[in-house]
Chain A
Amino acid sequence: AQKVTQAQTEISVVEKEDVTLDCVYETRDTTYYLFWYKQPPSGELVFLIRRNSFDEQNEISGRYSWNFQKSTSSFNFTITASQVVDSAVYFCALRDGATNKLIFGTGTLLAVQP
């Protein structure tokens, strides 16, 4: 069965701290895609990154970086030098070829204090 677990319900940091959001997934498929979305208070889900199961290279985009490790079924997201504008709920999601369904974790609420 497919499942995405985001064990951290809420994280609070002070501005300029680094923070890592954890994501652990389960799937039986060998071909799958992992996603991260950001949901600010306005409600819209903003796409951040997509990673396929055959590409384990870490990715960096500005202050954001992602660590994909198939051995531990994890796809963690790190924000470096956090800012108040990073405050949002972050969702990790999984989509595999068996069902094509996008399965979401329950999200992590990140609060960045000034």
Chain B
Amino acid sequence: DGGITQSPKYLFRKEGQNVTLSCEQNLNHDAMYWYRQDPGQGLRLIYYSQIVNDFQKGDIAEGYSVSREKKESFPLTVTSAQKNPTAFYLCASSRQRLSGNTIYFGEGSWLTVV
């Protein structure tokens, strides 16, 4: 089945630790995205990538890092510099980053700092 797979679904992190969220897509999409969702709020863009080996900061990139070494993979690292990392993280992809392209989402990952 085609889709976007995120792992793990639930993750607990101790303060001061880095953690990496995995995102893989088999839709052959060029563009990939990471969004953060806090309770009762809409989604905010963290990073996006339009092509392999290229990525751009979104609206709330501080404390996060990404890589795009393969077309199908776009992992997100939540670093210890992120002041309030507890949130729901959604990975997404689209054929291209043009506005007419629909963005499809994965099932999300819950990150809790303990």
Q: Is A33's CB under 8 angstroms from B43's CB?
A: no
Please give the number of chain B residues whose Cβ is less than 8 angstroms from any Cβ of chain A in the complex: 22
> Given A43-B88, A91-B43, A107-B42 in contact, is the A52-B104 Cβ separation under 8 Å?
no
State whether the Cβ of A64 lies closer than 8 Å to any Cβ in chain B.
Answer: no
Of B40, B98, B105, B110, which one neighbours A45 at CB under 8 angstroms?
B105
Rounded to whole Å, the gap between the CB of A13 and the closest CB of chain B is 20
Contact between A104 and B43 (Cβ–Cβ < 8 Å)?
yes
Closest Cβ of chain B to A9, distance in Å, is 8
Within the complex, which residue of A44, A100, A107 is in contact with B106, where a contact is CB–CB below 8 Å?
Answer: A44
Q: Does A61 belong to the interface (CB within 8 Å)?
A: no
Verify B98–A102 contact, CB threshold 8 A. no
B2 within 8 A of A: no
Contacts of A4 in B (CB 8 A): 42
Ranked nearest first, the 5 interchain pairs of A and B with the lowest CB-CB distance are A104-B42, A45-B105, A43-B108, A44-B107, A95-B99
Residues of B bordering A, CB below 8 Å: 33, 40-43, 45, 58, 88, 90, 92, 97-100, 102-108, 110
Binding site for B on A (CB under 8 A): 4, 9, 31-33, 35, 37, 42-47, 50, 52, 91, 95-97, 100-102, 104-107
